[in-house]
């Protein structure tokens, strides 16, 4: 059953069509990264602007050798320590990677995802997979196969069902301008974990041409207000509410982690945003989390999603 699902995904990808694939972070909308037809379909299905480049996925660091011209030492250290895992590296590309994938930039974003089915799938393919998150451009990212089916189901050939994503927020993106490890997007690997390996890192607030880091991303359809939830509920008693660990008197309440665990909060974050967006409430109230560990990445998304 599982094998036949992987076979099916492999066969679809080999004929330049798209399949949704599970990863530990979020579901990806995958196509052959070396085939411009497949890559163009990704942009079309997501309604994604061509200036927003894609992440390329492979099964191991070695599998990237033909596509990367140079590995800064810090990149090698990070890849060896955290791959497979929620870490994307921005590295200089070779000519095998097209301008369409990188939006003309000289560096390509690469990552080895940590999901058993997708690693098995990658081991059967002779090419890497370009895969953005499998949501329409700008909307909440999918962490379950049914999220993909609800939004893109009629536009893609196949969804490889790998269950719920365990990390739940996108990979952390690290580049090395002038050799300095620099975070372009906060994500599922904490800043603290990265700094244990390479020392102090820079964090870019508004990275040039990294639309995943733009305001208005990850946004629900409803208006989202960020602040003191107890206070805001006095003005909007019927609002839907996303809390970190406390109960509030909201008619539609989701508590990210009753025990205050930031990793658990990340795993629930996008699903709860979707569920609150689907309630009859007119708006969503949310509060920021402690600014450490995965709390930073969740706060980053909340700030960009707010109205």
Footprint of ligand TXA (CB under 6 A): 23, 25-26, 28, 52-55, 88, 90, 102, 105, 107-109, 111, 113, 131-133, 170-171, 173, 184, 210-213
SS3 assignment, position 66: helix
In the complex, the smallest distance separating the C-beta of residue 250 from Mg ion, rounded to whole angstroms, is 28
The residues, any chain, with a CB within 8 Å of residue 94's CB and separated by 6 or more, are 66, 67, 68, 69
17 makes contact, choosing from ligand TXA, Mg ion, none, with CB < 5 to 8 Å by partner type, with: none
In the complex, the smallest distance separating the C-beta of residue 51 from ligand TXA, rounded to whole angstroms, is 9
158-159 and 19-21 strand pairing: parallel
For Mg ion, the closer of residues 61 and 301 by Cβ is 301
What DSSP designation does 68 have?
A: B
Q: Quickly tell me which residue has 């990850």 as its tokens.
A: 218
For ligand TXA, the closer of residues 125 and 255 by Cβ is 125
For ligand TXA, the closer of residues 184 and 272 by Cβ is 184
Cα(63)–Cα(225) distance, integer angstroms:
44
The CB-nearest residue to Mg ion is: 133
Cα(64)–Cα(196) distance, integer angstroms:
25
In the complex, the smallest distance separating the C-beta of residue 276 from ligand TXA, rounded to whole angstroms, is 21
25 binds Mg ion (CB under 5 A): no
In the complex, the smallest distance separating the C-beta of residue 188 from Mg ion, rounded to whole angstroms, is 13
92 makes contact, choosing from Mg ion, ligand TXA, none, with CB < 5 to 8 Å by partner type, with: none
For ligand TXA, the closer of residues 177 and 258 by Cβ is 177
Cα(79)–Cα(251) distance, integer angstroms:
45
For ligand TXA, the closer of residues 23 and 32 by Cβ is 23
Q: Which two tokens stand for residue 294?
A: 């995965």
Cα(201)–Cα(195) distance, integer angstroms:
6
In the complex, the smallest distance separating the C-beta of residue 57 from ligand TXA, rounded to whole angstroms, is 6
For ligand TXA, the closer of residues 11 and 52 by Cβ is 52
223-226 and 172-175 strand pairing: unpaired
108 makes contact, choosing from Mg ion, ligand TXA, none, with CB < 5 to 8 Å by partner type, with: ligand TXA
The residues, any chain, with a CB within 8 Å of residue 194's CB and separated by 6 or more, are 78, 87, 172, 174, 181, 183, 201
For ligand TXA, the closer of residues 22 and 281 by Cβ is 22
166 binds Mg ion (CB under 5 A): no
Quickly list DSSP for 127-145.
Answer: S-EE--BSSSTTSPPP-SH
133 binds Mg ion (CB under 5 A): yes
240 makes contact, choosing from Mg ion, ligand TXA, none, with CB < 5 to 8 Å by partner type, with: none
Quickly list DSSP for 71-117.
Answer: --HHHHHHHHHH-SSSEEEEEEB-TTS-HHHHTT-SEEEEE----HH
In the complex, the smallest distance separating the C-beta of residue 177 from Mg ion, rounded to whole angstroms, is 22
In the complex, the smallest distance separating the C-beta of residue 133 from Mg ion, rounded to whole angstroms, is 3
Closest residue by Cα to residue 250 from 279, 221, 288: 279
For residue 193, how many other CB atoms are within 10 A of its CB? 17
Cα(219)–Cα(276) distance, integer angstroms:
12
35 makes contact, choosing from ligand TXA, Mg ion, none, with CB < 5 to 8 Å by partner type, with: none
131 makes contact, choosing from ligand TXA, Mg ion, none, with CB < 5 to 8 Å by partner type, with: ligand TXA
In the complex, the smallest distance separating the C-beta of residue 259 from Mg ion, rounded to whole angstroms, is 29
């Amino acid at each position: 059953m599982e094998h036949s699902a992987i076979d099916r995904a492999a066969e679809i990808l080999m004929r330049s069509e798209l399949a949704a694939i599970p990863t530990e972070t979020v579901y990806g909308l995958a196509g052959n990264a070396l085939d411009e037809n497949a890559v163009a379909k990704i942009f079309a299905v997501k309604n994604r602007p061509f200036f927003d480049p894609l992440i390329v996925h492979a099964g191991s660091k070695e599998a990237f050798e033909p596509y990367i011209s140079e590995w800064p030492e810090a990149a090698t250290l990070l890849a060896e320590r955290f791959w497979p895992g929620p870490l994307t590296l921005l590295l200089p590309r070779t000519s095998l990677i097209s301008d369409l994938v990188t939006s003309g930039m000289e560096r390509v974003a690469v990552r080895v995802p940590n999901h058993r089915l997708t690693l098995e799938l990658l081991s059967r393919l002779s090419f890497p997979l370009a895969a953005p998150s499998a949501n329409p451009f700008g909307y909440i990212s999918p962490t379950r196969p049914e999220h993909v089916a609800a939004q893109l189901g009629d536009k893609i050939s196949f969804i490889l069902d790998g269950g719920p994503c365990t990390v739940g927020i996108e990979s952390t993106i690290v580049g090395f301008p002038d050799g300095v490890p620099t975070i372009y997007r906060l994500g599922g690997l904490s800043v603290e974990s990265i700094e244990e390996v390479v020392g102090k890192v820079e964090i870019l607030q508004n990275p040039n041409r990294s639309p995943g880091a733009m305001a208005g991303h990850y946004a629900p359809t409803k208006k989202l207000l960020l602040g003191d939830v107890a206070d805001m509920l006095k003005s909007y008693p019927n609002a839907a509410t996303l809390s970190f660990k406390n109960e509030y008197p909201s008619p539609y309440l989701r508590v990210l982690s009753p025990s205050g665990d930031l990793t658990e909060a990340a795993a629930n974050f996008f699903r709860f945003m979707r569920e609150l967006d689907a309630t009859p409430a007119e708006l969503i109230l949310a509060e920021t989390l402690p600014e450490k560990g995965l709390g930073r990445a969740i706060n980053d998304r909340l700030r960009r999603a707010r109205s």
